[in-house]
Structure 1
Amino acid sequence: MQINCIPSGALGVNTYYVRDENTNKGFIVDPGGFSPNMENLIKKDRCDIEYIILTHGHGDHIGGVKDYLSLFPKAKLVACIHEKEFLANPRLNMSRDCCGMDIGLDADVWVNDNDTMNIGEMELKFLYTPGHTPGGMCILVENILFSGDTLFQQSIGRTDFQGGSFPQLKNAIHTKLFTLPDDTIVYPGHMGSTSIGFEKRNNPFV
């Protein structure tokens, strides 16, 4: 599995391009904006992008969705079913504040907690982790967790935006993420990578 992190969008969201090297099929996580560097890398790999997956619907994580769907017309947009209203409503997702324009999206595939999906030889498992937004989720692939804005290195996602809830976020982290093996590598939506074990021992917020 090849993982590439290229920050994108006005707030420099960690956008991930993930490729199964055996089948050359891949997916994109949280395209905050369009990145020519990512486009060039994907074209160089000749990767078949099958899905664009959103950990949540805030504007800084969705600004590049339409560009990538135009670039890869066969790709399908994936989000948590509980984020449906958030994604569709620019007022809720704050896209004008983040991207300078109103963005409303409707996913092609809506997933629930513990749903799985195969992309090439990779199996993805979706973990429902509300609190930062009503439909926030994380993506588990082998021992890799794409945590969006649920869990950061020694921090957590904000819960003071509309739809946020600190009790929900804390519960999701403890019941869904801190039950994963300690050596699970965490790739968050902002800042650097970490691990579940490190955050269990050192995260001051949960």
Structure 2
Amino acid sequence: MKYQIVPVTPFEQNCTVLWCDQSKKAAVVDPGGDLGRVTAVLDKEGLMLEKILLTHAHIDHAGGTAQLAKQYAVPIEGPHKEDKFWIDALPQQSQMFGFPSVETFTPDRWLKDGDLVTVGDETLNVVHCPGHTPGHVVFHSSDAQLALVGDVLFHGGIGRTDFPKGDHATLIRSIKSNLWPLGNNTSFIPGHGPMSTFGEERRSNPFVAD
């Protein structure tokens, strides 16, 4: 599995183009906006976009979803249904944060804990990790030892929990109970900032270290 991180929106959100090297089929994870930057990667690498994957439905992660899905006629998978209220509120979110106006959408597939998602010949496990938002999911490849964790965990930090239906205790539990078992050697792509490993965060992250 290959990937390229594409920072998008004024929030520098880590949108990720993820692809299967055998088939050249790709998924875009969290297309928050600046879609030209994202489609440039698809073109440069000669990829066929197969689907859009969403960790959660905050504007900087989901703002470009409807447009990209229409442009490429591809399905949207994720997040968990508990984030539907955030999807419905995307137009208000865009106004609040000064983003271009965006459309709402209905995912073709809501995801839940334990589901499997394919990208070409690659398979990702879905891990439900509420706390930052109630419907937040993480995508994990055991083969690649890679996780896309959205805004659950960062290098040296954790996601905010002061948004509607956010909950600090739930977030900490999600990280320790749902992410740490994936293994210390697992690298993760956070929603913002540099990559890290679960082992590094267990050692040094002031919010969730052992």
Residue 34 of structure 1 contacts residue 67 of structure 1 at CA under 8 Å; is this kept in 2?
A: no
The RMSD of aligned alpha carbons is 1.6
Q: Would you say how many aligned residue pairs link Structure 1 and Structure 2?
A: 204
Rounded to whole Å, the distance in 2 between the matches of 1:109 and 1:63 is: 18
Percentage identity across aligned positions? 29
Rounded to whole Å, the distance in 2 between the matches of 1:87 and 1:63 is: 9
Residue 57 of structure 1 contacts residue 87 of structure 1 at CA under 8 Å; is this kept in 2?
A: yes
1:164-191: CA deviation from partner (whole Å, max 9, x where unpaired) = 0001100000100011111000100000
Name the TM-score, length of structure 1 as normaliser: 0.93
Higher mean displacement: 26-35 or 161-170: 26-35
Amino acid at match of 2:16: Y
The structural deviation recorded for 1:67 is 2.6
* Cα distance change, pair 18–82 in 1 and its aligned pair in 2 (3 A): same
Q: How does 1:132-147 map to 2 (within 5 A)?
A: 132-142=132-142, 143-147=145-149
Higher mean displacement: 97-106 or 180-189: 97-106
SS of equivalent residue, structure 1 residue 177: helix
Q: How does 1:7-156 map to 2 (within 5 A)?
A: 7-73=7-73, 75-79=74-78, 80-90=80-90, 94-98=93-97, 99-101=99-101, 103-142=103-142, 143-156=145-158
1:170 corresponding residue in structure 2: 172
Alignment gaps of 5+ in structure 2: none
Amino acid at match of 2:195: S
The structural deviation recorded for 1:38 is 2.4
2:161 corresponding residue in structure 1: 159
Q: How does 1:181-196 map to 2 (within 5 A)?
A: 181-196=183-198
Amino acid at match of 2:23: T
The structural deviation recorded for 1:97 is 2.1
Rounded to whole Å, the distance in 2 between the matches of 1:111 and 1:161 is: 21
1:30-77: CA deviation from partner (whole Å, max 9, x where unpaired) = 11103323212212323121111111111111121123113211x111
1:91-133: CA deviation from partner (whole Å, max 9, x where unpaired) = 7x72322324354221111111110122211111111000001
Rounded to whole Å, the distance in 2 between the matches of 1:103 and 1:168 is: 30
Residue 4 of structure 1 contacts residue 18 of structure 1 at CA under 8 Å; is this kept in 2?
A: yes
Residue 90 of structure 1 contacts residue 103 of structure 1 at CA under 8 Å; is this kept in 2?
A: yes
Rounded to whole Å, the distance in 2 between the matches of 1:102 and 1:64 is: 7
Residue 64 of structure 2 contacts residue 102 of structure 2 at CA under 8 Å; is this kept in 1?
A: no
